[in-house]
Chain A
Amino acid sequence: MACLALAAIEAANKIPPLSMASILQTHDLHKSFGALVATDSVSLTVQTGEVHAIVGPNGAGKTTLLSLLSGSLKPDSGRIEFNGKDVTRTPAHKRVRLGLARSFQITSLILPMTVLENVMLAVQGTTGHSLKFWSPVSKEKDTQTQAMHFLQAVKLQDKSQHLADALSHGEQRQLEIAIALALKPKLLLLDEPMAGMSKEETRKMIDLLRDLKGDITILLVEHDMDAVFALADRTSVLVEGGLIATGTTEEIRSNTEVQQAYLGEA
């Protein structure tokens, strides 16, 4: 308990208390691969309703941190609290059901399925069990309607019958978002949604995410600083596995340590 309280005090000292409740908190999270420390005592708080960006140079451990949060990696030590519940040892698939969904940095769709079928798979996960062996999914009108609704949200409704494989890179990233939304998350972890996108595609994605803002809490790992400054309420800077600063966009911009570590190079 003493250690817990200490962590709480530490977290409180680092981050100015906000009036909003937090949806995600990590306490002193550690993860190393052999000699490489990928995550170094990260204590992070994400407030309900905000867009929280995590930036940092290549190899800073951004994706590792995201994987720890989503549950695809287990931390060596530390605690993860989601929605007031300790989920440190909760397996990935159960965290999804608790409302913690992620998208992937490398587009990770079921390519031989259609766009609609990809989203329907996600909807299927949130509407009853999937141990149904006989009745065709194509007859589940409700599942279909819901899936179309999420496709509309990312403006892909016209491509619903295309194979995911046949979409452009930008469209595939949009589909990733639709799938993540279909999981009805309380907190959405987005791993570099703008990766590999053209200027035009990036602009569209920023608009799309801005539309989601407020409805849903987003933890955004992103390389594109313009996108971060356009979207984020608060930003945390990760360098060599550890958080060096957290604050509003303005605070981060003017933070000299951050400039040295990251912005200066860019």
Chain B
Amino acid sequence: MRGEQASSWPSHLLARLKGNLPNQVYFALVIALLIAPWLINALDQSFYLDLLTRALIIAIAVASLNLIIGFGGMVSLGHAAFLGIGAYCVGIPTYYEQFNGFVHLGLAVLCSALFALLTGLICLRTKAVYFIMITLAFAQMLYFTLVSLDEYGADDGLVIYQRSEFPGIFDIENPTTLYYAVLLFLLGCLYLTHRMMHARFGRVLQGCKHNEQRMQALGFLTYKYKLIAYVIAGTMAGVAGFFLGNFTNFISPEMMDWTHSAELIFMLVIGGTGILFGPVVGAVLFLLLEEWLSGFSVYWHLILGLMLIALVVFGKGGVHGLLSLGSNRGSQQNTTT
């Protein structure tokens, strides 16, 4: 698996794709996402560019959730809070006519990292179902705090009249530019995750997921590694929130409602937890299905729910699990790709 290192990256890539159906699908997906705007513009279907942009923004949040659930074994039910924080870091400065994108982005990174650090310090003292409940509790606290802030629209939210400005660099008022900015950041997050999970830090984190007691007996202060992962994930999701605020031109506390946190987990499960590209597959599939099914029947929640149950029961490990069944069984168990 990891023994033979190909000398140059094209042959390295080929080696990874050969006989590995999941990897082939992920490769095709990335190519498709790269050329999607061109195709969509040619067909004059700008609605789908919007849909895909939203899916990729959500995919960033799911990818960050994958870092803590899929690789770290920490199931959080408060992840939408970070999306909200990122979005408010665009909305509130804009309200005071501060349109500088670097200020927005910087605030989003800072605030989400700080929120992750402060809540993580407490949450990570608990495990399993207690961890789920306490992350939910913190997210709800933030939700109700924002609901009570009349200055920023309370539960009606705020309209963002103008997207973040990056003067002289790019203009995200242009939907295609925003799309590529999001895609680039998403791919960057995935690459970072890939590197981290094969580096020392990631090995320790994955060890914690499977057997925390063992990791402590190996002399690791597991709390520290989990907290760092939690802060990295929170920051990633915060940046996703920055994009989401810009994309929807509107922010409200509803963005951090706990049902959205649950949806993020759904998407992760659809794509396959602990699978690098699982979040992209999950988010794109979830939003496309939601779109199509809601046009097809008002009972689309039911259909989506049944599909989810079928996927979990029959395809162990989400879409990745299904694809692996189709691939040759010999080369399974490549945990991180």
Asked whether B217 lies within 8 Å of A70 as measured between CB atoms, the reply is yes
Q: Given A110-B210, A110-B214, A130-B225, do A96 and B219 touch, yes or no (CB 8 Å)?
A: yes
Residue of B nearest to A129 (CB): B200
Cβ contacts under 8 Å, B145 to chain A: none
Asked whether B200 lies within 8 Å of A131 as measured between CB atoms, the reply is yes
Q: Which of A101, A111, A121 contacts B204 (CB 8 A)?
A: A121
Asked whether B2 lies within 8 Å of A138 as measured between CB atoms, the reply is yes
Q: Given A110-B211, A161-B3, do A133 and B216 touch, yes or no (CB 8 Å)?
A: no
Asked whether A108 lies within 8 Å of B216 as measured between CB atoms, the reply is no
Q: Given A135-B199, A163-B333, do A72 and B3 touch, yes or no (CB 8 Å)?
A: no
Q: Given A108-B214, A110-B210, do A93 and B221 touch, yes or no (CB 8 Å)?
A: yes
Asked whether B198 lies within 8 Å of A125 as measured between CB atoms, the reply is no
Does any Cβ of B come within 8 Å of A122's Cβ?
yes
Asked whether B198 lies within 8 Å of A137 as measured between CB atoms, the reply is yes
Once bound together, how far apart are the Cα atoms of A70 and B186, in whole Å?
43
Does any Cβ of B come within 8 Å of A210's Cβ?
no
A76-103 residues with Cβ-Cβ distance < 8 A to B are: 91-94, 96-97, 101-102
Q: Given A120-B203, A122-B218, do A112 and B211 touch, yes or no (CB 8 Å)?
A: no
Does any Cβ of A come within 8 Å of B220's Cβ?
yes
Q: Given A120-B203, A121-B207, do A104 and B214 touch, yes or no (CB 8 Å)?
A: yes
Cβ contacts under 8 Å, A183 to chain B: 218-219
CB B318 to nearest CB in A, in angstroms, measures: 17
Does any Cβ of A come within 8 Å of B335's Cβ?
yes
Asked whether B210 lies within 8 Å of A179 as measured between CB atoms, the reply is no
Does any Cβ of A come within 8 Å of B228's Cβ?
yes
Secondary structure of the B side of the interface? Answer: helix
Does any Cβ of A come within 8 Å of B196's Cβ?
yes
Asked whether B204 lies within 8 Å of A130 as measured between CB atoms, the reply is yes
Q: Given A132-B200, A135-B199, A137-B199, do A72 and B216 touch, yes or no (CB 8 Å)?
A: yes
Does any Cβ of A come within 8 Å of B201's Cβ?
yes
Does any Cβ of A come within 8 Å of B41's Cβ?
no
Does any Cβ of B come within 8 Å of A33's Cβ?
no
Cβ contacts under 8 Å, A134 to chain B: 195-196, 199
Cβ contacts under 8 Å, B203 to chain A: 117, 120-121, 124, 130, 137
Cβ contacts under 8 Å, B207 to chain A: 110, 113, 121
Q: Which of B3, B210, B215 contacts A111 (CB 8 A)?
A: B210
Cβ contacts under 8 Å, A101 to chain B: 217
Cβ contacts under 8 Å, A91 to chain B: 221
Does any Cβ of A come within 8 Å of B213's Cβ?
yes
Count of chain B residues near A, Cβ 8 A: 32
Once bound together, how far apart are the Cα atoms of A78 and B180, in whole Å?
63
Cβ contacts under 8 Å, B333 to chain A: 112, 163
CB B303 to nearest CB in A, in angstroms, measures: 34
Once bound together, how far apart are the Cα atoms of A134 and B5, in whole Å?
17
Once bound together, how far apart are the Cα atoms of A97 and B218, in whole Å?
9
Cβ contacts under 8 Å, A112 to chain B: 210, 333, 335
A185-204 residues with Cβ-Cβ distance < 8 A to B are: none
Once bound together, how far apart are the Cα atoms of A136 and B145, in whole Å?
42
Asked whether B210 lies within 8 Å of A93 as measured between CB atoms, the reply is no
Cβ contacts under 8 Å, A7 to chain B: none
Residue of B nearest to A180 (CB): B217
CB A173 to nearest CB in B, in angstroms, measures: 14
B28-73 residues with Cβ-Cβ distance < 8 A to A are: none
Cβ contacts under 8 Å, B3 to chain A: 161
CB A105 to nearest CB in B, in angstroms, measures: 12
Q: Given A111-B210, A136-B198, A137-B199, do A130 and B220 touch, yes or no (CB 8 Å)?
A: yes
CB B94 to nearest CB in A, in angstroms, measures: 33
CB A162 to nearest CB in B, in angstroms, measures: 11
Asked whether B200 lies within 8 Å of A124 as measured between CB atoms, the reply is yes
Once bound together, how far apart are the Cα atoms of A218 and B158, in whole Å?
66
Q: Given A137-B199, A163-B333, do A125 and B219 touch, yes or no (CB 8 Å)?
A: yes
CB B132 to nearest CB in A, in angstroms, measures: 23
Which residues of B are interface residues toward A (Cβ below 8 A)?
1-3, 5, 192, 195-196, 198-204, 206-207, 210-211, 213-222, 225, 228, 333, 335
List the 3 shortest-distance A-B pairs measured between CB atoms, nearest first. Answer: A96-B219, A130-B200, A132-B200
